[in-house]
Structure 1
């Protein structure tokens, strides 16, 4: 079944609307801690969507997206705490800063591919937390102590507490990022990014500026991940260098693999995995939580090599069979009526 027929099916038409309605009801029905966890889930989903643009759509491997996450978080923290900038202005500035950082890193990285590019991004993830601890940057970054941020209050016309407001704000930004990513992938630019991933030489032969599109993918990917980091800083109300270790970059990559490389909705399932599974593993055995986490991850990869995208394919297949059956029944009824 084609994508258009999927969109004409009831699930294709109303599924996203139902999901958004359920998400809107979460701050009303759930307790504050669950609201906080749901907010964190959306933050991680935005970061995974950003990495998916680079890895899944353009075919460049990054092991250092935690650095862009940290850059977005520190940009917001410095602007809000040091300069008193409202978060409504600090968030767009963080997006612009991380977009520029992604461009600045992606341009010289054009000479690198595969494992060499992964090694360069790995170096970035390792180096940035150490740079943030430098004493010369203490007046801005707070050194090893980090920066505390005041939690934004909801607008006076909304009957929401601070946690509920941050959830609603994060939900709105998540929907916007998802819409932007989906339209980017389906656009001419997205098709060019995919062509570069499939065969860079053939893409260059067809007149595609490979260097430009690779750099653009890095910039957009870094921007989305930076937005996630900025939201995380506001939600958690604190940033420090140790919060952005290499483990964060690995966690985002794991979320991408679990969600399905190249499958945008899988970002939410990947985010749920990296948010909840470590806690489940610790509940099974505190001493062996890492081993339990690893076993669960390996089991998922073995059972579903394509990640959650495999479940998406199965769901689309079910919709296809249901749609064909419905149409066949309708045609049979029309023939019987006509006869």
Structure 2
């Protein structure tokens, strides 16, 4: 009888699955990294997290709703300039700029998402690209507010004395904390009824509408949430860089973000993080070759990855794991 109860208790004992263990290990490594790396490497990792936040939004829009956007660099810029203007003109604390940047870009995304409902595919991509193209000249025109072509130079968040952290380490942990919070929110959203509705819209709009899904409502919300995440990334980027300029937010940024999420893996949990690393490190590592190398290598790697792994780096990792796991299991037997 005792044995039976013990075995029943053991069956009810909670167990950790592999994704949970992988996330826990990754967080431990992420927390230890800034104490083991040089300041410049910590700065690079911080920018990877910034890009990952923006790519979460783009993944939500394209990977889970099926809407194509080439204008997310504009939302990135709006979030960056919202934070910069609040700091430069009103001397607002850094952390107070984040909720304002979220609200501004959410409303902007919602406002642009409603008229975009009539468009899809390349037509929607063209309209969003137009937004990214004209935003730069618009920022230069209002120089009294935005600093014009010269931009705005800002202070960076100073680490509290009680932390004992250097500035680069403090910025990294701020970016890491914000990334984790948004990742949890996105995962929770996708597992909810709303997430299932977004996936239904992506897979078959007619079938989703038949099942009672309000297409216009969910598409508009997805666009707004996606813009909000891009704005959050822009705000954190302003803290990390300490400078904003219209030339930093050209249409190339929008195309780079799109390439990053496609390479990372559309519709995957790890796609934004892998895409952020690809977006930062490929141009950086090839910069030493010559001035043309980053663009050339970036393009060639996109072609190679799309050929080898059509579902992106996240899909390639998953496929490799499924191939290796049976081999390891056989060896143990």
Q: Normalising to structure 2: TM-score of the pair? A: 0.91
Could you tell me which of 235, 251, 255 is aligned with 2:256? 251
* 1:173-212 pair list within 5 angstroms: 173-212=178-217
User: How far apart are the structure 2 equivalents of 1:323 and 1:183?
Assistant: 33
Q: Give the structure 1 partner of residue 8 of structure 2.
A: none
User: How far apart are the structure 2 equivalents of 1:317 and 1:129?
Assistant: 45
Per-residue CA deviations over 1:315-337 (Å, capped at 9, x if unaligned) read 552687489879x97xxxxxxxx
| Number of equivalent positions | 320
Q: Give the structure 2 partner of residue 126 of structure 1.
A: 133
Kindly indicate whether the alpha-carbon contact (under 8 Å) linking 1:145 and 1:240 is maintained by their aligned counterparts in 2.
Answer: yes
User: How far apart are the structure 2 equivalents of 1:225 and 1:204?
Assistant: 28
User: How far apart are the structure 1 equivalents of 2:46 and 2:120?
Assistant: 35
Report deviation, 1:282. 3.0
Report deviation, 1:8. 5.5
Could you tell me which of 316, 319, 324 is aligned with 1:314? 319
Report deviation, 1:279. 2.4
Name which of structure 1's ranges 49-58 and 201-210 shifts more when overlaid on structure 2.
201-210
Which stretches in structure 2 are left out of the alignment for 5+ residues? 1-13
Kindly indicate whether the alpha-carbon contact (under 8 Å) linking 2:282 and 2:297 is maintained by their aligned counterparts in 1.
Answer: no
Per-residue CA deviations over 1:261-302 (Å, capped at 9, x if unaligned) read 111212111111111111233334434443233222211211
Distance 1:287 1:121, change over 3 A: closer
Q: Give the structure 2 partner of residue 242 of structure 1.
A: 247
Kindly indicate whether the alpha-carbon contact (under 8 Å) linking 2:305 and 2:313 is maintained by their aligned counterparts in 1.
Answer: no
Q: Give the structure 1 partner of residue 18 of structure 2.
A: 11
Secondary structure of 2:222 counterpart: helix
User: How far apart are the structure 2 equivalents of 1:154 and 1:279?
Assistant: 27
Which stretches in structure 1 are left out of the alignment for 5+ residues? 1-6, 330-339
Q: Give the structure 1 partner of residue 151 of structure 2.
A: 146
User: How far apart are the structure 2 equivalents of 1:233 and 1:120?
Assistant: 26
Could you tell me which of 50, 56, 78 is aligned with 1:49? 56
Per-residue CA deviations over 1:75-94 (Å, capped at 9, x if unaligned) read 00001111111111111110
Kindly indicate whether the alpha-carbon contact (under 8 Å) linking 2:274 and 2:314 is maintained by their aligned counterparts in 1.
Answer: no
Could you tell me which of 95, 98, 105 is aligned with 1:98? 105
Report deviation, 1:155. 1.5
Runs of 4+ in 1 over 6 A off after TM superposition: 322-326
Per-residue CA deviations over 1:5-40 (Å, capped at 9, x if unaligned) read xx9666323111110011111121111111100000
Could you tell me which of 279, 282, 285 is aligned with 2:284? 279
